Amino acid sequence: MARLFGTDGVRGLANTDLTADLALGLAQATAVVLGKGRSAEARRAAGRRPVAVLARDPRISGEFLSAAVAAGLASSGVDVLDAGVLPTPAAAFLIQDIGADFGVMISASHNPAPDNGIKIFARGGTKLPDVVEERIESYLERDILMPTGGDVGRIRRFADAEDRYVVHLLGSLEKQRLDGIHVVLDCANGAASGVSPETFRDAGAQVTVIGNEPDGMNINEGVGSTHLDLLARTVVELGADVGIAHDGDADRCLAVDASGRVIDGDQIMAILAVSMKRRGVLASDTLVATVMSNLGLKIAMAENGISMVETRVGDRYVLGAMSDGGFSLGGEQSGHVVMSRYATTGDGILTGLHVLAEMARTGRSLADLASVMTVYPQILVNVSGVDRSALESDEVLADAVRGVEAELGGTGRVLLRPSGTEPLVRVMVEAADQATADRHAHALADIVRTRLAV
């Protein structure tokens, strides 16, 4: 059986790759594996069933998939609290907040509407390690003994789920108000369409909203963190102070300043890291980021006395390094930003609130705050039709990389890495100017194409 779990749950074309049968079976297997923890056993000893939180984004297939997951869990003896449409980080928070045994989020994040996915969180709202995902997959091939009578689970509406999450988000601001800031929110016609505007307004901001009319099929369609043009235009046309963009399940945050210039995840992390260090809440004065973060971030952190821990690409690796080191801030250029004091995963609403809080706290514009970091020109070239496994052993390619690195010196960076999901090698070059970055990246890509051809 091929591996089901990818880098962020089980994902595919809904009703083709990801069917109701698969969702039901996956839920039943999850109930067996995650319903055996100490918390679940304590509940059983007290005559109660294990509890799971269930939420989804608004894409149309989420309706039948969440119904299948709820049926699978309840038929396995798990009580289901259905939170309805809420962001992924809300689901993670609620699992921790009520002491649930685990939880399930139905979402394909920034993917188009026909896709969907199933994300599973362990007790405490944390992502599953590979070994647990493998155990869940193994139970899909086994006969599972199902409970009967009063031992089957119940499915109930999680009535105050959104209120709990909003109170949590506002509490993270520690009474810092956002009065006087005009923000345009792009909710990607996704899971944040209701809760994000409500939260920013409650915090005192003047809010204009776009991308907040989900119809089940328009999630991420021309809006959200992967389509920032409309947000930038709206901010400029209205004379707003800042724009905040979420993706479909609101675990990402990107921004635009008052001039419409994009502020990416690296710049957001730089703003937050400097602020947190100044206020004495940046654990070990350290930021966790991936190897794809811009060289400018590393230089900015060094200039501000902040250390950096670099990980492989993927928020799960950022989360792992943060957990291992006890660090309080980490993330990716794509806008997954983790503030571990308040969240167990990336939270786009939380991140946006804290960016605006720093604007309110300092009285500085977003452009001024982002100037702490100089963004080095960066180019990424994908080379297909090559043998990824030979990347590290080819000496001619290694010599070429060393030559480029020597020419760039401290003003640039080279990174070659195999794609984890496609038959590609990614060539990334940063330099002091775009022309230099382009020249070196395409030259290295040509060498990769020649040396590693299959």
CATH number for the domain including 106?
A: 3.40.120.10
The stretches in the chain having pLDDT less than 70 are 1-2, 37-38, 40, 45, 420-422
**Domain for residue 64, yes or no?**
yes
d(CA 29, CA 85): 24
Place of tokens 């940046």: 282
> One-letter amino acid identity for 141?
E
49-91 tens-digit pLDDT: 999 999 999 999 999 999 999 999 999 999 999 999 999 999 9
Q: Is 202 annotated as a binding residue?
A: no
Pair 336, 389 in one domain = no
Is 4 part of a structural domain of the chain?
no
Residues 140 and 168 both lie in one domain: no
pLDDT tens-digit map of 141-194: 888 889 999 999 999 999 999 999 999 999 999 999 999 999 999 999 999 999
Shared-domain flag, residues 44 and 140: yes
Residues 16 and 132 in one domain: yes
154 plus 192 within the same structural domain: no
Final residue before a domain boundary, out of 370, 392, 413: 370
Please report the pLDDT score of residue 52 as a whole number: 98
Dist. CA 168–CA 172, nearest whole Å:
6
Same domain (yes/no): 206, 351? yes
Whether 250 is in a domain gets the answer yes
Consult the annotation and say whether 115 binds a ligand: no
In a domain, 283, yes or no: yes
CA distances from 138 to 6, 40, 82, 101, 128 (A): 15, 21, 26, 20, 15
Within this chain, do residues 394 and 352 fall inside the same structural domain, yes or no? no
In a domain, 123, yes or no: yes
Tell whether 45 is covered by a domain: yes
Number of domains in the chain: 3
pLDDT at residue 420, as a whole number: 64
What pLDDT was estimated at residue 441?
A: 95
Domain boundary among 123, 158, 193: 158
Catalytic residue among 75, 76, 109, 193: 109
97 labelled binding-site residue: no
User: Is 109 noted as a catalytic residue in this protein?
Assistant: yes
Across 21-144, the runs of DSSP E, i.e. the strands, are 51-56, 79-85, 102-106, 115-122
For residues 356 and 425, membership in a common domain is answered with no
- Domain boundary (124, 158, 192) is at 158
Residues 14 and 138 in one domain: yes
How many CB atoms are located within 10 Å of the residue 259 CB? 11
Which secondary-structure segment (H or E) carries 132? helix 130-139
**Could you say which DSSP state residue 374 is in?**
P
Please tell me whether residues 291 and 275 are part of one structural domain: yes
Contact 430, 294 (CB under 8 A): yes
Rounded to an integer, what distance in angstroms lies between the CA atom of residue 190 and that of residue 212?
Answer: 7
Q: Is residue 170 part of a domain?
A: yes
Q: Are 401 and 294 in contact (CB under 8 A)?
A: no
Q: For 425-449, b where at least 16 C-beta lie within 10 A, e where not — what string?
A: bbbbbbbbeeebbeebbebbbebbb
Residues 154 and 193 in one domain: no
Q: Is 160 annotated as a binding residue?
A: no
Is the domain of 332 the same as that of 412? no
Range(s) of the domain holding residue 364: 164-370
Whether 1 is covered by a domain: the verdict is no
